[in-house]
Amino acid sequence: MTSTPSSSDSANPPKAFIFECSSNTYLDCVEKSLFGSNKPWPLEIKAGDYCLLHHYEIGGLLGLWQATCNGTRNLVPKIWGGKFPFQVRVNLVLPKPTEVPQKLLADLGINPAIGRFDNCVDDYLAEDLIRSLLGT
């Protein structure tokens, strides 16, 4: 269910949600196609929304995944020791996780090395991120 964002689709502007991981949680996220948070914002995610993964220990923002379901609670209750109950299933859109170019992040005012930014990115910022990763 990969779709390319369209500027003309103003009724449903693209959204991208940024999850965080560490070296301890990264492999579970990628191998199980599951992202989670300890805060409830993933409940806003709808199937088809894009997701990125901020690896805060290396300061990289990786993409690109697409939600395969709406965000919910406890899809896999015991994963990560139950610490991240707000979850969404994702599907990798690209052949492999790809780091968002630092220049694009700087141009858009995002600094993943700082480690804190909005978890929901929408409108033109989301469209630019998605297009840069899809190469369109």
Rounded to the nearest integer, the mean pLDDT of the chain is: 85
- For the entire predicted model, the pTM comes to 0.85
- The 10s digit of each residue's pLDDT in 92-108 is 999 999 998 877 777 66
**Nearest-angstrom CA–CA distance, 64 and 78:** 25
Phi and psi for 106 in degrees, rounded to 5?
-65, -45
The stretch 4-18 carries a mean pLDDT of 65
Phi and psi for 24 in degrees, rounded to 5?
-75, -30
Q: Domain locations in the chain? A: 15-134
- The residue among 65, 42, 43, 63 whose CA lies nearest residue 54 is 63
Q: What CATH fold (topology level) applies to the domain 15-134?
A: ph1033 like fold (3.10.590)
What is residue 11's predicted lDDT score, i.e. its pLDDT? Answer: 63
- The 10s digit of each residue's pLDDT in 40-94 is 999 999 999 999 998 888 888 899 999 999 999 999 999 999 999 999 999 999 9
- The 10s digit of each residue's pLDDT in 98-135 is 998 877 777 666 666 665 567 888 778 888 888 888 88
- The residue among 37, 32, 40 whose CA lies nearest residue 65 is 32
Phi and psi for 43 in degrees, rounded to 5?
-65, -15
